[in-house]
Structure 1
Amino acid sequence: MTQVRMDSPHRSNRLLAALDDEDFAYLEPHFEFVDCQRGDVIYEPGQAIQHTYFPHSAVVSLVTVMIDGKSAEMATFGCESLFGFVSAFVSRNSFGRYIVQIPGTASRIDLDLMHDAFKTRPNVQQLILRFTEALLAQTLQSVACNATHGVEARCCRWILSTRDRWGSDELPLTHEFLAEMLGVQRSTVSAVTRSLHEAGLINQSRGSITILDRRGLEETACECYEIIRGKFSQLLPVWKQDR
């Protein structure tokens, strides 16, 4: 019987941590570690997807890129996620840009091997389907959020969600990157973060934002943060954050 290390670094990803020993042992020999640097583009729109990624400490955004070069975030992937699989069932081409927003590590596996595991391992399939439903809920809620809520509330939601994935109150975020993810001007983000700073909710310095008052930030964020968080907790019990 294959011995599985419960402390395997691959299990820093919460989906991989949720697999039983047998299913994890099936996948583990095929994983490789990758370092993800801030700003790295893992896939461009239309590029053939070759690997499925399971982030550990890295946080990756899927953004849509317009003809004029503007972009906005469609989904975020961290230690609770995988990417490069759900969107590659048929065409196997990326429909957006996957870009690293916070540097860190990830495990990756050949896409064909991941497809084989999905087809032959019922528990793997069930876990991925649960994640897919949670991801769909996140994406659809974000569409509604972007259409109905103000920039300040959306910014607070984004900061809190990123903190949940990063695991630290100090986030290596620039105003430029935050503006790109929210689909607004940099000056708008600067005004919002200055207001949050003056209210004592965050501290901002060059290249980073530190959460000082999480409860206050939650009260300022729109309800979408708790809705999305609740959906992940319901479908993926391993999705837990410190409050």
Structure 2
Amino acid sequence: MCRALRDKGVPFLFLSAGGNQHPLTPREFRAAPHLAMPFEPSQLKSVLQTLIGAPTVAPDGTTFGNAILDMLGPAERCVLAPSLERVALRTGERLEPPGQPTAYVYFPVEGLISMFTGATAGTRIEIATVGSDGMIGQGVLLGDLTAGEALVQAAGSAWRIASGTLQRLAELHPALRHHLLAHIGLALRQVMDAASYGGRATIVERLARWLVQAAHRLNSRRLAITHDSLAEILGVRRPSVTTALQALEGRHLIHSTRRAIVVLDPRGLAARR
């Protein structure tokens, strides 16, 4: 029956009392939506919406607001949505203790998160800036269960899922795994591009690049960030950041205070990258 429905383009789902996916489900249908019994009416509604092509919404009735989640196919969204929870992100919060097992994978909606490498103040440097276009903790899908350092630079919120749950769902649903791995590949290329750029750019150029990207990800020209934080992000001394900010301010590209930076001329700042 399932093959006949599939061949005619008729959507269908599996109901099972044995969890989100019954072990007897044929391999060719493991990417189809599964709903475990008993279930809440809201869960059934979400599944039916995805089956008929209606926009998938988060549990609170809104769109997810994260590019990776919003680009999932209907079936994959249905698989992931019941396991996601919305959490607040606080400025200065470390999402996972570095070196410890990764407990959660995060999909930011608002805010800005820095991924760092290096254990000491003299060696720490940001390797990636993550906003609503990315995810934190993707290493669990590559077999790396140890958390890297993820520091919230700007408060916001995120969807999160237990790392073990995401691993299990990715193994059961190849389309979901493929989508997430494609993002990881893109993120790795961005890290390599940033490293290549950082090796040949001046501090002023690196700072301008970071400010442009941060303002874009936050959709705001005002960035609440200190000189000390920028020095940590760029892996340089604080006086070097102050000098670079003065250079950009002298060209009327930004306005800098002790705890915030306002981008006055986004195009001009982008030209300094």
Q: TM over 0.5, yes or no?
A: yes
Residue 24, structure 1, aligned to residue 77, structure 2: yes
Secondary structure, counterpart of 1:57 in structure 2: strand
Query: Does the CA contact (< 8 Å) of 1:169 and 1:211 recur in 2?
Result: yes
Secondary structure, counterpart of 1:19 in structure 2: coil
State which of 205, 212, 219 in structure 1 corresponds to 2:264.
212
- Using the alignment, how far apart are the partners of 1:49 and 1:214 within structure 2? 37
**Cα displacement (A) at 1:70:** 4.4
- Using the alignment, how far apart are the partners of 1:35 and 1:89 within structure 2? 26
Match of 2:252 in 1: 200
- Using the alignment, how far apart are the partners of 1:219 and 1:71 within structure 2? 27
RMSD over aligned Cα, in angstroms? 1.9
State which of 84, 100, 117 in structure 2 corresponds to 1:64.
117
Look at both structures and tell me which one has the larger radius of gyration over its CA atoms: 2
Match of 1:45 in 2: 98
- Using the alignment, how far apart are the partners of 2:195 and 2:97 within structure 1? 22
Match of 1:185 in 2: 237
User: Which range is displaced more, 170-179 or 64-73?
Assistant: 64-73
Match of 2:137 in 1: 84
Number of equivalences: 220
Q: Which runs of 4+ in 1 moved over 6 A?
A: none
**Cα displacement (A) at 1:148:** 1.3
Kindly provide the CA deviation profile for residues 85-127 of structure 1, in whole angstroms up to 9, marking residues without a partner as x.
2355324112x31111111100100111111222232332222
**Cα displacement (A) at 1:194:** 1.4
State which of 153, 169, 190 in structure 2 corresponds to 1:117.
169
Residue 100, structure 1, aligned to residue 148, structure 2: no
Residue 136, structure 1, aligned to residue 200, structure 2: no
Letter in 1 for 2:243: A
Q: Calculate the TM-score normalised by the size of structure 2.
A: 0.75
Q: Structure 2 unaligned runs (5+)?
A: 1-43, 50-54
**Cα displacement (A) at 1:16:** 0.7
Counting aligned pairs with the same residue, the percent is 27
Residue 173, structure 1, aligned to residue 225, structure 2: yes
- Using the alignment, how far apart are the partners of 1:88 and 1:22 within structure 2? 19
**Cα displacement (A) at 1:67:** 4.3
Q: Calculate the TM-score normalised by the size of structure 1.
A: 0.84
Secondary structure, counterpart of 2:64 in structure 1: helix
Larger RCO, structure (CA 8 Å, separation 6 or more)? 1
- Using the alignment, how far apart are the partners of 1:52 and 1:131 within structure 2? 14
Secondary structure, counterpart of 2:132 in structure 1: coil
- Using the alignment, how far apart are the partners of 2:159 and 2:85 within structure 1? 6
Letter in 2 for 1:17: D
- Using the alignment, how far apart are the partners of 1:72 and 1:186 within structure 2? 13
Letter in 1 for 2:171: K
